[in-house]
Each structure stands twice: as C-alpha cells, then as structure tokens.
Structure 1
Amino acid sequence: MPEPTSQRQIAHGLLTTRGIARLAELRDAGVTAATMSRMEREGEVIRLARGLYQLSDAPLDANHSLAEAAKRVPRGVVCLVSALAFHGLTDQLPKQVWLAIGRKDWSPKPDGTPMRIVRFTESLLSESVETHIVEGVSVKVFGIAKTIADCFRYRNKIGLSVAIEGIQEALRQRKTTPAEMARQAERGGVATVIRPYLEALTANG
C-alpha cells in the first residue's frame, strides 16, 4: 500500500516544532515506525539514538547533546562539568553529558550521545533546577550556585581544579554571590570544603 503523504507531513511538522522527538511521540501523532525508517533511509531525518529523531537539516545548537540527553532521560538534570560549560564557567568541553538522576531511576542504555550518570537524592535532584529551551527541547540544568556546590561534592569524580575554576569564574563574571554558593554548599553537605576557597577568593573584595 502506498504510504499516506500526511504521515511525512505530520512527522516533519512535529520535528520542526519540537526539535527532537521520540518514536512514541511520533506514533501518538499517527506516524508509524516504518515511515520514520523510510524517512531516515532517504535522508530526511537523522536517528540520534534508538527511537529518537531529528530533521536532517535542523540547525544544531552548541548544546545539542544536552537536548538529546533530555529527550532520552526526561527526569535527568544536567549537572557538574556539563552544567559549568552550559553556564560559561569552564574551558572544559565535556565529551559526555553529565546527568543527575534519582537513586532509583533507571540508568539509560549506552546509545547516541555518551552520558555520565550521577545519582542524587530526591531533595538534591529537585533543588535549584532551571529549564532552558535548546533546539525546541526543554532541558533541565542545575543553577550556578548549586552546580558549584555539586562540583565540590563530586570533586573526586571531576577533579578539584575544575571545581575551583567554576567558583573563580562565577565570582569573576558575577553570575552568583558568595552567600548563595555558601547556602547551596551547606545544603549539599560541603560547606566546610568550599569555605576556604570562598574566603580566599573574596578576601580582596
């Protein structure tokens, strides 16, 4: 049977609006998996990961990998080095997306953009979460002060130098205050760790 043209139009419209769409979303809109496979073979769409599609001519944002991760792990929150990079607080270019999920959440299977999963308690996972739109996708990212506190909390994973760079840049660019960083550090249980750095960096004004 010939494929109804409308399926392609629906898929194209959905991907234009949402930037990236899961196969489940496309199916809900009336587009079959066979149609998506055909569109992929003909170069109209790109399969980013299993069941995850984007138009082949879609403009790519510098934070494309974050949008892809958000679609694959809707409960995840961009954290640590990836959040520092998003907020412009590090020269590091993470080769993987650092993503926080809950203690009992399913860890995503390796596919598409590499992800580094870090498990947070529910209270820390819901604290200071911002939502940003990247390529039409809602991406959850921890706020600056929270990110810096988390970097000190996970300094053994990312390296102390990265955490120090983050705090220096946040103060230099005036993107948050020492008081807010101290508050987030207190909530994250690293107040005594971060205090000497805050005191040293703010001693001269």
Structure 2
Amino acid sequence: MSKTKRERVLELLKETGVLRPRDLKEVGISGAYLNKLHAEGVLDRPSRGLYALADSEPSEHRTIAEVCKRVPHGVVCLLSALRYHDLTTQAPFEVWLAIDQKARLPSIDYPPMRFVRFSGEALSFGIEKHDVDGVEVHIYSAAKTVADCFKYRNKIGLDVAIEALRDCLQQRTATLDELWAAAKVCRMSNVMRPYLEAVT
C-alpha cells in the first residue's frame, strides 16, 4: 500500500471524522483502501460503509455525524436536536431527521433513523451548521426545535415539548423573540402562547 495514499486517507479522516468509500473516489483513491486499513486495525467501521480512526474518541453525538454523512440533505430535528441542544433528559435510540416532502426516503439500516417530512419554510428555517466529530451537520436551532416539538406533540408527547420550552428559556438557549418567530413559521403561535406566557 502506497504510503502517500495511506497518509492522504488518514489526513482526510482527521479532517472529516468519518469517511465513505465514495469520498475517496473524489480524490482519486480506491475505496478498497478503507477496507485494507480496517483489516490492519487502523480504522473502525462504526456502521456499514462508514469508517473512522480506530483511536479516535467518538463524541456522544457520533451517530448524528454518521447519519448526516449518509444523508447530507437531512436536518437533525425533534428529539435528536433536543438532545444535541441539551434540552431533554431523554436519549433517543433513533436519529430524528427532517427531509423534504418530496425527497426519496433513504434506505439505510444502521444507525436507526426516524424520518419526518417538512416542506417550504418549515424545512429551511432555523438550520444551523455544527461540527460533530469532524463532520458538518445541519441541526435545527433550539427555538425551531422547540416549535417543532409542539407541532409534533402527538408523536413525542406534550410533556417533552413543555420541558424543552422551559429548559430553553432557563438555559437562555433561545430568546423569547426567537421562539415566537419559530412558532409562527411552524404555525404553532396559538398552541404555544399559553405555555410561553406561563413560563415568562
């Protein structure tokens, strides 16, 4: 195995955290090098088709990085975004991902994912870019996440939405104005108003 190619692969992994075989093809290296490095014990394979440095310390949010690498057009939302923003005591076993109403549903068996379809401003509003284990991930802001939780309260529970709203204001993760703006985009102003008034 050429040392220069090996060094390039390791450099890419240090930059991006996780790699797919197709990421190597973009720089003119065969994806087979990832398998070879995995066989040598240099790389871990956290899930099928994804490779990470064996000695890297994965963060608590490694699965978010893995999912966003495989579904780059998705946006981390609802319970996973709450967890990322530290607005819930729950630790979801699935990664919640928002995708466009018309997007093809990705067929990925691992890590476990829950897809929610958004459209228009509800999809594009409040997206933040964060670095998770070297991977750029798209996650909804704390305010947008809280508004989404009220919108999907029948799926995740009203108690989770109220707890997130309370924590969001106590921790100053979002301002009242940001929460109102998100509530309007999600058409949740009337639903959230009594709870916003009660906690302020």
TM-score by length of 2: 0.94
The equivalent of 1:89 in structure 2 is 87
The equivalent of 1:131 in structure 2 is 129
1:91-141 alpha-carbon deviations (Å, 9 max, x no partner): 111111111111111222233321111110032111011111111111111
Shift of 1:50: 3.3
Alignment partner of 1:105 is 2:100: no
Q: Which runs of 5+ in 2 are unaligned?
A: none
Shift of 1:164: 0.7
Change (3 A) 1:4 1:175: closer
The equivalent of 1:143 in structure 2 is 141
Instruction: Provide the C-alpha distance between the structure 2 equivalents of 1:135 and 1:24, rounded to a whole number of angstroms.
Output: 19
Q: Which letter does structure 2 place at the counterpart of 1:154?
A: Y
Instruction: Provide the C-alpha distance between the structure 2 equivalents of 1:171 and 1:14, rounded to a whole number of angstroms.
Output: 39
The equivalent of 1:9 in structure 2 is 7
Q: Percent identity?
A: 45
1:175-186 matches, cutoff 5 A? 175-186=173-184
Shift of 1:155: 0.7
Cα root mean square deviation, aligned? 1.4
Instruction: Provide the C-alpha distance between the structure 2 equivalents of 1:71 and 1:23, rounded to a whole number of angstroms.
Output: 12
Instruction: Provide the C-alpha distance between the structure 1 equivalents of 2:20 and 2:108, rounded to a whole number of angstroms.
Output: 16
Shift of 1:186: 1.5
Contact between 1:7 and 1:30, CA under 8 Å: does it hold in 2?
Answer: no
1:165-204 matches, cutoff 5 A? 165-202=163-200
Instruction: Provide the C-alpha distance between the structure 1 equivalents of 2:33 and 2:171, rounded to a whole number of angstroms.
Output: 48
Q: Which runs of 5+ in 1 are unaligned?
A: none
Query: Per the alignment, in what secondary structure is the counterpart of residue 137 of structure 2?
Result: strand
Query: Per the alignment, in what secondary structure is the counterpart of residue 145 of structure 1?
Result: helix
Instruction: Provide the C-alpha distance between the structure 1 equivalents of 2:88 and 2:199, rounded to a whole number of angstroms.
Output: 17
Greater displacement, 12-21 / 39-48: 39-48
Q: Which letter does structure 2 place at the counterpart of 1:67?
A: A
1:72-87 matches, cutoff 5 A? 72-87=70-85
Q: Which letter does structure 1 place at the counterpart of 2:170?
A: R
TM-score by length of 1: 0.91
The equivalent of 2:27 in structure 1 is 29
The equivalent of 1:163 in structure 2 is 161
Contact between 1:48 and 1:112, CA under 8 Å: does it hold in 2?
Answer: no
Change (3 A) 1:5 1:174: closer
The equivalent of 1:60 in structure 2 is 58
Instruction: Provide the C-alpha distance between the structure 2 equivalents of 1:64 and 1:164, rounded to a whole number of angstroms.
Output: 27
Moved over 4 A (4+): none
Aligned length: 200
